[in-house]
């Protein structure tokens, strides 16, 4: 629930995780979240106004953005997060409520 989230690393091997960032604010500028999922994955709940760029390589798996995007939702282009990494026989998804 930080108001200055800068990113980090997530590794799931033969397991999974659920992360809720719904009450989190991104830090100014570019932020990076590195992921590695091998036979595992995660679900991330993020605010709908986050500017997210996906740079994920998938081998027999996937990573998808399933956020509900409202047309009237404000977007802050000065704060951005890039999710980059590798998914092998696993999966991940972004959601928002």
How far is Cα 85 from Cα 44, in angstroms, rounded to an integer?
Answer: 15
pLDDT at 38: 95
How far is Cα 18 from Cα 55, in angstroms, rounded to an integer?
Answer: 20
pLDDT at 19: 94
Phi/psi of residue 46, nearest 5 degrees: -125, 155
Residue 50's nearest CA partner among 25, 72, 19, 87 is: 25
pLDDT at 71: 66
pLDDT at 8: 94
Decide: residue 87, CB within 10 A, 0-12 exposed, 13-18 middle, 19+ buried: buried
Q: What is the pTM of this model?
A: 0.84
**Which residues, given as ranges, of the chain have pLDDT below 50?**
none
How far is Cα 67 from Cα 54, in angstroms, rounded to an integer?
Answer: 13
């Amino acid at each position: 629930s930080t108001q200055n989230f800068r990113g980090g690393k997530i590794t799931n091997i033969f397991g999974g995780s659920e992360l809720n960032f719904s009450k989190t604010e991104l830090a100014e500028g570019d932020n990076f979240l590195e992921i590695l999922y091998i036979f595992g994955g995660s679900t991330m709940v993020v605010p709908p106004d986050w500017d997210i760029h996906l740079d994920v390589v998938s081998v027999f798996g996937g990573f998808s953005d399933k956020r509900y995007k409202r047309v009237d939702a404000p977007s802050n282009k000065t704060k951005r997060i890039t999710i980059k990494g590798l998914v092998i026989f696993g999966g991940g998804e972004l959601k928002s409520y």
